[in-house]
Amino acid sequence: MASLLRRRDLLLGAAAGLVAGPAVATAKPSAIVWTFDRLDSIGGEVTHIEGAPSVIDTPLGKAVLFDGVDDALFIDRHPLAGAATFTFEALIRPDGGDFAQRWFHLASDEPVPAPATPANTRFLFELRVVGGQWYLDAFVNGPGYKQTLVFPDKLYPIGRWHHVAQTYDGQTYRAYVNGQLQGEAKIAFTPQGPGRASVGARMNRMNYFKGAIRQARFTPHALSPEAFLKLPVQV
């Protein structure tokens, strides 16, 4: 009987290993999602509010509206710190305003080797407004890399919701609008250190955003457009 029990325990242990082993081996770090449906905290992170951004109702749900003058949110977290590959995406509604708007800034505070400085190690989502249209400017900078992806000929209407994304798969940095590739470049990206985020303006309180932001997602690997946040048609 003792021999049979031991054999049963060995078989059960082996089966459990088969179930648990692959799940652990293939698990990927989870994404961080920030939903802009309130002002006091975003994604569980306390916000520091400047100006008078407001929460509005939209077809996508609640979103935060920025006036393009002095509205901004500051958050004491860099949600892509430590990521060697990434997808940084957001659902936004540009509403016109100034030509240059640097509306989402992730900055590393970690000391880095010269010539880079903490203020220079960053991700930026920017846009440029031209009449009733806009185009995307994605930017990443750090020790050993500096790349802008901007394409003035690829214009989109203001006053409507759009999905934007920038990704890095270990070799190639890419920018997208509504799932459509805007452009790409090979870069030698290295993970950024812990830091902060500003939304609605650049970290130094310049180039304010006029429009609304519904959601942002930060994934520590490169997603294909099919896996991006979904944007309903005609919003």
**Is residue 69 in a domain?**
yes
The first and second tokens of residue 78, run together, are 């860099």
**Is residue 182 in a domain?**
yes
| Helix or strand (DSSP H, E) at 147 | strand 145-150
As a whole number of angstroms, the distance between CA 25 and CA 13 comes to 18
**Is residue 220 in a domain?**
yes
**Is residue 235 in a domain?**
no
Residue 6, CB half-sphere, CA atoms under 13 Å: how many? 3
Decide if pLDDT at 86 tops 60.
yes
CATH for 69: 2.60.120.200
The first and second tokens of residue 134, run together, are 């806009």
**Is residue 22 in a domain?**
no
pLDDT band at 110 (very low <50, low <70, confident <90, very high): low
Indicate the pTM of the whole model: 0.85
State the residue range of the domain holding 179.
31-226
Neighbours of 57 (CB within 10 A): 9
CB within 8 Å of 68: residues ≥ 6 apart: 95, 96, 97, 98, 101, 208, 209, 210, 211
Span 147-151, average pLDDT: 97
**Is residue 163 in a domain?**
yes
Nearest to 96, CA basis, from 31, 23, 17, 158:
158
Name the domain count of the chain. Answer: 1
Render pLDDT for 21-35 as a digit per residue (tens, 0 to 9): 444 445 567 999 999
**Is residue 92 in a domain?**
yes
